[in-house]
Amino acid sequence: MERAKIRLCVEHPLGEGQAVPLTADQAHYLFSVMRLGLGARVALFNGRDGEWTGEVVEAAKKTGRLLCLGQAAPQLDPPDLWLLFAPIRKERTDFIVEKAAELGCAKILPVQTEFTNAQRIRQDRLQAHALEAAEQCLGTYVPEVRDLQPLAKVLQDWDPARRILWGDESRVGPAETLAGFAPGPWAILIGPEGGFSEPERARLRGCDFVTPVSLGPRILRADTAACAAITLWQSALGDWR
């Protein structure tokens, strides 16, 4: 089935003959903004059932209904990779969330560090960014964006079965080959501009589940480091292999 251009992430189950009711916002978007009418086709995904082609069978100002015609693409879940990052300036934080969603992270955890400026984040706005990235890039999965938590708390509660790949800005030099690393659940940790404080670095070095790695011979901004680390992990241990 040819994939429809307009894509919509819904919460409702998707499947053969399934009717999908629209929220007021979704109806407004499809019928007022995009000016779709009865019979128009929309790509639907919900993060679980792949992409389905839906046909508009009811259209009103604040309500509407789509009917699932057939599956257009199978569900593509990311590997079990999380991204931990320290929020920085607004546009770069948005960018990190968008790129993590595109490159295939399962979960995104903003962490507060000593050199993080942010005291709080707009979790709802970042979650909407992750959703938009999936809608734009033909994705069928939207990573969950958690609320901001202090790094110390995150490390304290950490399940040591999930290893942490730490992009350590003090290791400027050849990038490690990740090919020999154990597969399984991982998280990537990227620090803020200015890096981690000395006590934080000592704490990270003391965690058995943390592996510091170099990301090449150049200093990278935090958003660039996140893209590079996810790419290296995906190609060595993830679903880019």
- 152: contact with its own copies by CB under 8 A: no
Q: Which stretch binds its own copies (CB under 8 A): 54-62, 99-107, 110-118, 153-161?
A: 99-107
- Which token pair is 34? 């995009």
Residue with tokens 């992270």: 105
Residue placing its CB nearer to its own copies in the complex, 40 or 138 = 138
Beta bridge partners of 52: 44, 71
Q: Which stretch binds its own copies (CB under 8 A): 51-59, 64-72, 195-203, 214-222?
A: 214-222
Residue placing its CB nearer to its own copies in the complex, 115 or 158 = 115
78 vs 197: CA distance, rounded Å:
32
- 35: contact with its own copies by CB under 8 A: no
Angle, helix 90-103 to helix 222-237, in steps of 10 degrees:
10
Measured from the CB of residue 104, what is the shortest distance to its own copies in angstroms? 6
Burial of 241 (0-12, 13-18, 19+ CB in 10 A): exposed
209 vs 129: CA distance, rounded Å:
30
Q: Which stretch binds its own copies (CB under 8 A): 6-14, 130-138, 154-162, 202-210?
A: 130-138
What backbone phi and psi angles, to 5 degrees, belong to 136?
-70, -35
- 46: contact with its own copies by CB under 8 A: no
180 vs 138: CA distance, rounded Å:
32
Measured from the CB of residue 238, what is the shortest distance to its own copies in angstroms? 8
Residues 174-193 within binding reach of its own copies (CB under 8 A): 174-175, 177
Footprint of its own copies on this chain (CB under 8 A)? 76, 95, 99, 102-104, 136-139, 174-175, 177, 215-221, 224, 227-228, 231-232, 234-235, 239-241
